[in-house]
Every structure is written in C-alpha cells, then in structure tokens.
Amino acid sequence: MEELRKYKQSKADEKARLANLWQGADAIEKDFLFTTWNGRVAHPDTITKWLHKFVVKHDLLHITPHSFRHMTAIFLINAGVDLTTVAGKLGHANSTTTQIIYSHLLDKSEKETANTMEAILSQSMIDADKFNH
C-alpha cells in the first residue's frame, strides 16, 4: 500500500507539473492507475509488455496482468471471504460465475473443512473416553 501511495503522489506531482497538458481525470483519485506520460489511459498491451520484460529480467515464472486477478480471487477465497464479496471485487455479475471459475478452490476448502471437523470430533471422542474412565 505504501508503494501505491508513493506512486499516487508521483502521479499527482506529474499532473501539477504538466498543468493544462495533463489529459487524465480532474482529481488524481479518479484517475487510472496506469497512464501515459500525460495522463491518458495506457494501452493494456503496455502493461503486459512491461510485465513480460520484468519477469524475464528477474527470471520469474510466467505471469500476466490477469494472473494478479486470479491471485486476488485465490487469496480472498482461501481467507474465507464469501463468494458474493469476491464476485463483487472481480466484477462478476453474480457469485455463480465466481463459483464456476474457482470451484476447484472451493472443493479444496470443503475438504479442509471436513478434515478440520473430523479432527475436532476425533479429539472430542478421545477426551470423552478419558473422562468416562
């Protein structure tokens, strides 16, 4: 978040420096995150190309900007955020779309929940057996 704040401030400084040449939003809070030098919306390929160069330069696994979207969904679902909220963050019209795309994660979560419940019940049986003897 700190890096985003710094980036936002640098964009605000750039906007002030360019004055009437700035073609982005009036208020920096309403502007796009990735813009050209004068505030216009950057072409999506610009970000994709930059990320590809970055990944190659730093010898990272192949990722795309869309990978970050999936990563967000995965983190939110694994953290237990409800599907309606996740769907809203991803811009899905309803949670059914999110459920279909990420069903493998939900299956894993169901298995983990079942395993947790089994462990709790098993421990309860052990504790009850000790109490009765």
Q: What is the pLDDT of residues 62-81, one digit of tens each?
A: 888 888 888 888 888 888 89
Q: What is the pLDDT of residues 3-40, one digit of tens each?
A: 988 988 998 899 999 999 999 888 777 888 888 889 99
Collapsed DSSP state (helix, strand, coil) of residue 35: strand
CA 113 distance to own-chain centroid: 23
Residue 55: pLDDT band with limits 50, 70, 90: very high
Taking residues 58-62, what's their average pLDDT? 89
Q: What is the pLDDT of residues 92-121, one digit of tens each?
A: 998 888 888 887 766 666 666 666 777 777
Q: Phi/psi zone of residue 25: left (φ > 0), alpha (ψ -120 to 50 degrees), beta?
A: beta
Q: What is the pLDDT of residues 33-53, one digit of tens each?
A: 888 889 998 898 998 999 999
Q: CA-CA distance, 13 to 24, in Å (whole number)?
A: 13
pTM value is: 0.55
* Count of CB atoms situated within 10 Å of the CB of 65: 12
